Amino acid sequence: MIRTWHLGDRHQSLVLACRNAGLPEVVYWGPALPESENLQVLAKAAVMDVTGGMVDENAPISLNPEASRTFPGQTGLSARDAAGKVLAPRFSFQSEERAGNELSLVYSDESCGLSLRFDLSLTEATSLFKLKAQLQSQEDIVVDWLAAPVLPVPAYADEMIEFSGRWCSEFLTNRLPFAPGARVRDNRTGRTDHAHFPGLIVCNPTTSNTAGEAFAFHYGWSGGHRMVAEELADGRRQVQFGHAFASLPTGTLFATAPLYATYSADGLNGAAVRFQRHVRSQIVKDARTPRPVHYNCWEAVYFDHKLDELKAIADRAAELGAERFVLDDGWFGKRDDDTSSLGDWTIDPSKYPDGLTPLIDHITSLGMEFGIWYEPEMVNEDSGLYRAHPDWILGPEDQTRGRQQLVLDMAREDVRKYLFDQMSAVLGNHAVGYVKWDHNRVLPVVDAPQTEGVYALIDQLRRAFPHVEFESCSSGGGRIDFGILERTQRVWLSDSNDALERQRIQHDAALFLPASVTGSHVGPRHCHTSGRVIGMSMRAWTAAQRHLGFEMDPRELTDDEARMLKAVTDWWKANRDWLMQADILRLDTIDPAIIAEIQVAETGDRFAAFAALTRPSDQILPHPIRLTGLDPDAVYKITLTNRDETPGLSRGAPLLKYQDLTVSGRYLMSHGLTLPWRFPETICVIEGQRLPN
Ligand code: DGJ
């Protein structure tokens, strides 16, 4: 008897089958199948042949490939009993629960005392699968590896795009060919990290932003993941995601984080839009709308907090249009540099003799919300907390320090209680609407309970202070994933406020992140992390592509710069209601110097496109940029929003340089928009309005 299940919507189908009573395997994942499709036939038709030099049956790439079935690749479970004996279960079917596109399957192996549960669901509104596995044991066991439900990818999808990065250059994409053997990522940093965003896109060499097939994955976990993308000797391919190797504690219950996955027939954008929508509608909760314009004082004052200066900065920020003022690192303990005070979350009386209230009152009187920086999981040796509780740290005492700091053991209830009480004393007694939650070093050990402890503390704080928004920062984008986004409303994408670097980072992050959660700030004229000087238009429009903020000392601005920044901020405010709900679609450009995207409103009736010329082009003239995501039969009015920035060296006459255009979606998506010539390191902003038929 073959059991089969079909999860699907109008975009995709996933068909599971299990022969005998064994674990099910995905026998089909791809475009939506007709309702009439006979799943029994699919299950049998998918069975691959056997020839010489092979065992007599191909072990399935089941939801958890089993060593006991002579699976020839990486197995989905690696576990030992208390005596160290390797466990090789052979699971058999116990029960199922089904409701629409939600399916739970339970399997067990009595001889090992193990049961394995899979929870699979498809959110139809976003066409994203959410897949989880949970292992239960009757005795204490050691689990080195438990994969979330394992998915096969087809042999025709020959490439993978995966992610690396570094401080100030998050979300670097690497496009690699699939080859025999396993591509393994095992993130040992204990956090999501700049270098290890837990995502993977399997596609064809020809898949572009706008066309082709893609199978995309994201593991929603903040404690470091492991990924295996393997081509077996017989050519079949599997993708596994789970917690970093050996990061689970010994015990009886082990669960993976959710693995999110989707199949797209519409290029990388098809998958990107689903992740973006899912973050907006299913992952992030209680995000303030409209999204307020940020001001963050870090690059203006660093640790040098002076009440009068901060008030003067706040005045200027409010004039420019800021609606939230975030007081960054330096307000607590004796924090005059980064060598001390983490852990002592009491207001520094030498900087704030009357507490924070005078500053907060000033900020709120300007109509801004007050936000405050914390790095709760960390402690400096030079702190009251460390002196009182040297035993509260995670890892050995002689470990290498990171930014002169140690990590608190967040699995301890007393540690979490201390942090909750310290933070509550500030949040509960002041008008605080926002917490920037930082995390500035890798962990000394990879440890899932640490991450569970962080999640528990944030959850507790969110319950106690439901009006407070949280931002996830980790030296910029070192902790960005759907696990942390389930409890925060914004991520600090990168410590790079260099607009040109930001263009690249936010472009690649848009494969998973919507604009509404992606913080992007207008930095100082002289960028502090790259040393470059970039014009205000480029800086302001780049930040306006995401959740806009400012982070320079606004007193450095010339009148022209201030005017430009105010104008872009006003534009952003006038458009944010739809922009922060829009789909970001990356554009394919023939000029590698151009990074371009279109943001299409949920209703489809308007869009904004941004084309940044990040360096001098090799070609002398700009070639048309083809848009995407529009209705080919609709007619759009097109405006070059920053037309007045076209330089004198543009001597020709593309119509858009002088006036708005009225053209069809088909024209925009096939011929594309011919833009005027411009200087490198500048940006073209284009707005489109769909006209009534
Ligand atoms: C690292 C963050 O990414 C910065 O934005 C800032 O908050 C500093 N930490 C403060 O120490």
Beta bridge partners of 491: 472, 518
What residue numbers does the annotated binding site cover?
167, 328-329, 403, 436-440, 473, 495
- 273-304 pLDDT, tens digit per residue, is 999 999 999 999 999 999 999 999 999 999 99
Span from the CA of 583 to the centroid of ligand 1 (angstroms): 29
CB 97 within 8 A of CB 5: no
Span from the CA of 436 to the centroid of ligand 1 (angstroms): 9
- 345-359 pLDDT, tens digit per residue, is 999 999 999 999 999
Q: Is 123 left (phi over 0), alpha (psi -120 to 50) or beta?
A: beta
Predicted local distance difference test score (pLDDT) of residue 499: 98
- 394-414 pLDDT, tens digit per residue, is 999 999 999 999 999 999 999
Instruction: Provide the mean pLDDT of the chain.
Output: 97
Asked if residue 473 has its Cβ within 6 Å of ligand 1, the reply is: yes
Chain centroid to CA 183: 22
Predicted local distance difference test score (pLDDT) of residue 136: 98
What residue ranges do the domains of the chain occupy?
Answer: 2-283, 294-584, 587-690
Catalytic residue among 193, 438, 447, 553: 438
Buried-state track 347-363, b at ≥16 Cβ within 10 A, e below 16: bbeebbeeebeebbebb
Count the neighbouring beta carbons within 10 Å of the beta carbon of residue 46: 15
Gap between the Cα atoms of 22 and 60, Å rounded: 10
Confidence label for 23 from pLDDT (cuts 50, 70 and 90):
very high
414 is catalytic: no
Predicted local distance difference test score (pLDDT) of residue 34: 97
Residue from 438, 491, 496, 529 whose mutation best tests the ligand 1 pocket (most atoms within 8 A of CB) = 438
Closest CA to 478 of 443, 449, 524: 443
Asked if residue 329 has its Cβ within 6 Å of ligand 1, the reply is: yes
CB half-sphere exposure, 336, CA atoms < 13 A: 4
Predicted local distance difference test score (pLDDT) of residue 668: 98
Name which of 16-20, 33-37, 457-461 the model is least confident about: 16-20
495 is catalytic: yes
Mean pLDDT confidence for 234-253: 96
Closest CA to 149 of 65, 43, 28: 65
- What residue spans of 279-412 are helical by DSSP H? 298-301, 307-320, 357-365, 384-388
Predicted local distance difference test score (pLDDT) of residue 328: 98
Ligand 1 atom with the shortest distance to the CA of 475: 3
Gap between the Cα atoms of 98 and 95, Å rounded: 10
Predicted local distance difference test score (pLDDT) of residue 524: 98
Gap between the Cα atoms of 384 and 380, Å rounded: 9
- 627-685 pLDDT, tens digit per residue, is 999 999 999 999 999 999 999 999 999 999 999 999 999 999 999 999 999 999 999 99
Span from the CA of 329 to the centroid of ligand 1 (angstroms): 7
Span from the CA of 472 to the centroid of ligand 1 (angstroms): 11
Span from the CA of 438 to the centroid of ligand 1 (angstroms): 7
Asked if residue 328 has its Cβ within 6 Å of ligand 1, the reply is: yes
Gap between the Cα atoms of 438 and 618, Å rounded: 41
Span from the CA of 475 to the centroid of ligand 1 (angstroms): 6
Predicted local distance difference test score (pLDDT) of residue 249: 92
Asked if residue 91 has its Cβ within 6 Å of ligand 1, the reply is: no
Asked if residue 476 has its Cβ within 6 Å of ligand 1, the reply is: yes
Q: What percent of the chain has a predicted confidence (pLDDT) above 90?
A: 99
Predicted local distance difference test score (pLDDT) of residue 680: 98
Closest CA to 412 of 360, 454, 358: 454
The burial of 182, by beta-carbon neighbours within 10 Å (0-12 exposed, 13-18 middle, 19 or more buried), is given as: middle
The beta strands (E) that lie in 196-271 are given as 199-203, 214-219, 225-231, 237-243, 251-255, 259-264
Asked if residue 374 has its Cβ within 6 Å of ligand 1, the reply is: no
Residue from 302, 492, 550 whose mutation best tests the ligand 1 pocket (most atoms within 8 A of CB) = 492
Q: What angle do CA 146, 259, 456 make, to 5 degrees?
A: 80
CB 62 within 8 A of CB 81: no
The token duo for 481 is 């994933």
Ligand 1 atom with the shortest distance to the CA of 373: 7
Take atom 3 of ligand 1 and give the residue whose Cα is closest: 475
CB 588 within 8 A of CB 208: yes
Q: What percent of the chain has a predicted confidence (pLDDT) above 70?
A: 100
Ligand 1 atom with the shortest distance to the CA of 495: 3
- What residue spans of 226-375 are helical by DSSP H? 267-278, 298-301, 307-320, 357-365
User: Is the domain 587-690 a CATH 3.40.1800.10 member?
Assistant: no
The burial of 91, by beta-carbon neighbours within 10 Å (0-12 exposed, 13-18 middle, 19 or more buried), is given as: buried
How many secondary structure helices (H) and strands (E) does the chain include? 14, 35
Predicted local distance difference test score (pLDDT) of residue 21: 85
Predicted local distance difference test score (pLDDT) of residue 20: 80
Take atom 1 of ligand 1 and give the residue whose Cα is closest: 475
* CATH superfamily assigned to domain 294-584: Aldolase class I (3.20.20.70)
Please report, as a single letter, which amino acid is at residue 621: L
Asked if residue 373 has its Cβ within 6 Å of ligand 1, the reply is: yes
What residue numbers does the annotated binding site for substrate cover?
167, 328-329, 403, 436-440, 473, 495
Confidence label for 48 from pLDDT (cuts 50, 70 and 90):
very high
What 3-state DSSP class applies to 306? Answer: coil
Asked if residue 332 has its Cβ within 6 Å of ligand 1, the reply is: no
Asked if residue 405 has its Cβ within 6 Å of ligand 1, the reply is: no
Predicted local distance difference test score (pLDDT) of residue 1: 80
Gap between the Cα atoms of 264 and 270, Å rounded: 5
Asked if residue 298 has its Cβ within 6 Å of ligand 1, the reply is: yes
Ligand 1 atom with the shortest distance to the CA of 302: 10
Chain centroid to CA 11: 23
DSSP percent split of the chain into helix, strand, coil, nearest 5 = 25, 35, 45
Confidence label for 55 from pLDDT (cuts 50, 70 and 90):
very high
Take atom 10 of ligand 1 and give the residue whose Cα is closest: 329
Span from the CA of 495 to the centroid of ligand 1 (angstroms): 7
Asked if residue 221 has its Cβ within 6 Å of ligand 1, the reply is: no
For 521, the enclosing helix (H) or strand (E) is: strand 518-522
Span from the CA of 140 to the centroid of ligand 1 (angstroms): 41
pTM of the model: 0.98
Chain centroid to CA 608: 22
Ligand 1 atom with the shortest distance to the CA of 296: 5
Q: Residue 6 pLDDT more than 90?
A: yes
Q: Residue 335 pLDDT more than 90?
A: yes
* CATH superfamily assigned to domain 2-283: alpha-galactosidase from lactobacil brevis (2.70.98.60)
Catalytic residue among 119, 158, 495, 553: 495
Predicted local distance difference test score (pLDDT) of residue 693: 85
Predicted local distance difference test score (pLDDT) of residue 19: 80
Mean pLDDT confidence for 48-71: 96
Ligand 1 atom with the shortest distance to the CA of 328: 7
**Which residues lie below 8 Å from residue 113, measured CB to CB, with a gap of 6+?**
137, 138, 139
Predicted local distance difference test score (pLDDT) of residue 460: 98
Residue from 167, 170, 298 whose mutation best tests the ligand 1 pocket (most atoms within 8 A of CB) = 298
Count the neighbouring beta carbons within 10 Å of the beta carbon of residue 432: 20
